[in-house]
Amino acid sequence: MDTKSTFIKNLLGFSSATLISKLLGFARDAMIVFIFGGGKLTDAYYAAFRITNLLRRTVGEGAINASIVPLLAKEKEQSHEKAVSFFSAILIFSVGASIILCVIAVIFRYELVKLISYGFLKNPEQYELTVFLTAILMPHIIFVTLAAVFQSALNVSKRFFAPALAPAIFSIIIIGYLTALNFGFLSALEVKTKLLLLAAIATLSGAVQCIALFPLIKKELYRVKWANPFKNPKIMPAIAMMAPAILSIAQDQIAMFINTIFASFMASGSITAIYNSARIIHFPIALFAVSAAQVALPDFSKNLLLREKEGFKKTFNFSIKLTLLILAPATAGILVLALPIVRTLFEHGQFSYQQSLLTAEVLFFFSMGLMGYGINKIVSAAYYAAGDIKFILKITAFQMILNTGLCALFAKYMGAGGLTLATSITALLAAFIFLKTLNKKFSGSILEKNTFILLGKIIPASILMGVFAKYFNSFLLLSIGHIPATLITIVSSILVYFTLLKLFNVKERNSILKLLGKARSKARS
């Protein structure tokens, strides 16, 4: 199997698992607002969850993966024994550090909640609930860190499906609990008590996720050597890389952090609207951009290790093309179908039409930066593989300052929608700077000519698809309900988009479909 086919096969495995995990995540969040509504209670839960999520995405899943994969791949090229030694050292260090971080966060939980949700101070009851939820959710970071080390080791071994599927356990357990509530179990408990129990179950689900991954780690012959991790010569380079990686990877979460701070001063439901719209936006990003970056990272590392510049460029351009091929039409589709999508996913039970309107407005502006978010994931993976993240730190600082300033400006005139518009503008500017700088590093040759040609075709195809989606959905609403109208419109729009790609002679469409077919055939056999 050639390199591109192998990449597609791995990407298909990772994306398939991510798709399952994200769909379960949507079901989980839809059930949360169905049972608890979209007001102060869910604002408190999502504000507390945002703190844990920031640590989980940056320290746990983000920095660990970015720092471990390149170094572990290098150690494994030399010998399996060296890989096992480094794996043990980084596992012991990461889990120990996460325990310390968890304890500190619980001790300073009041200060953390003030930092992210200062506006809650005007409502002492909501503030205290958020603090309590934060303390309950915080131990989840320990289990996620352990799972992240497992996932990194498995990714180096080119195992992507099972590690990417493991987070689905989190959603399955919570869905089980929420289903029980819906059928009347624990009906004697107060609503707040049920919410606190939800947080406890969310934390414990992390332990189950680790247990599920352990047999795979054992199968790859990884084991833990209980020794001082600092005796391993590679642990300090990993820590040195991990520290700045935390800041750079944290950008997306910090942007949400900043949005949450501003939203805590806004109308009830604003934080929930931002969280739910972010879930929708992150769906195509995780399914394609994050998946491509995750799969490409070991290849980037190997190409740089073997000094295969052309192999690096091919992997990079193919990742960018695939990301743009999907995120461009996703942007157009969400822009014109923001309200129908939100109503279909969340407007059930206690979630009202007014809350759908607020969420749709937030989602509309959020979707403008979709391609920027995706490109940033791919370029960051390339920098991590090269071990050069100084420039990423500069861009991260730039994004934080610009995002905060734009949030302050737009919030006054546009409300919660202005916060996500600020985030979108920041992401697009960062993507432009990232690509321009990386291109210079490769003497103006990292981006191939056919990548620009592809962009010139998919943008008009996406616009035409968006026009079709808008008017076709309006037509369907005259005769059927909004849920079937939305589902039919989405499926029809996808077919229209791929038909337009064929008319525009987008060769990548045919090659990707063929490679996907080959990968599926291999998977079946």
CA-based torsion, 513, 515, 518, 524: positive or negative: negative
Note the pLDDT of residue 344. Answer: 87
**In the predicted model, what is the mean pLDDT of residues 499-511?**
77
End-to-end CA separation in angstroms for the chain: 14
Q: pLDDT tens digit string along 310-321?
A: 777 777 787 788
CA distance 68 to 306: 18
Q: Calculate the average pLDDT of the chain.
A: 79
Place of tokens 């990993």: 238
Give Cα 147 to chain centroid, integer Å: 16
The pLDDT of residue 383 is above 80 = no
The pLDDT of residue 519: 44
Buried b (16+ CB within 10 A) or exposed e, 325-349: bbbbbbbbbbbbbbbbbbbbbbbeb
Q: What is the pTM of this model?
A: 0.66
> What is the C-alpha to C-alpha distance for residues 249 and 66, in angstroms, rounded to an integer?
9
- Range with top average pLDDT, 70-84, 278-292, 499-513: 70-84
Share of the chain above pLDDT 70, in %: 82
pLDDT of 518 strictly over 50: no
pLDDT of residue 290: 60
CA–CA gap between residue 299 and residue 321 (Å, rounded)? 17
CA distances 60 to 21, 65, 148, Å, are 18, 8, 6
> Where does residue 82 rank: exposed (0-12), middle (13-18), buried (19+ CB within 10 A)?
middle
Q: Please give the Cα distance from 360 to 339 (Å, whole number).
A: 5
Give per-residue pLDDT as tens, 99-128.
Answer: 988 899 899 989 888 877 777 888 888 888
Asked if residues 122 and 129 have their Cβ atoms less than 8 Å apart, the reply is: no
pLDDT interval class at 502 (50, 70, 90): confident
Write the pLDDT tens digit of every residue in 409-442: 888 788 888 888 998 999 899 888 888 877 777 6
pLDDT at 41: 82
Of how many residues is the chain composed? 525
In contact, 319 and 451? CB cutoff 8 Å: no
Give pLDDT, residue 10. Answer: 65
CA distance 255 to 261: 10
Backbone angles phi, psi at 113, to 5 degrees: -65, -40
141-145, 245-249, 388-392: range with lowest mean pLDDT: 245-249
**How far apart (Å, rounded) are the C-alpha atoms in residues 116 and 120?**
9
| Residue pair 301/73 in contact by the 8 Å Cβ criterion | yes
**pLDDT at site 123:** 84
Mean pLDDT, rounded, for 346-358: 81
Task: Report yes or no: 50 and 260 within 8 Å, Cβ to Cβ.
Answer: yes
pLDDT beyond 80 at 58: no
Which comes out higher in pLDDT, residue 399 or 294?
399
Mean pLDDT of 46-56: 74
120 vs 497: CA distance, rounded Å: 45
- What is the rounded (10 degree) CA torsion for 373, 377, 379, 385? 170
**pLDDT band for position 464 (cuts 50, 70, 90):** very high
Per the CB < 8 A criterion, the answer to whether 367 and 221 are in contact is: no
| Separation of alpha carbons 492 and 474, rounded Å | 13
Which residues does 475 contact at the CB level (< 8 Å), separation at least 6?
A: none
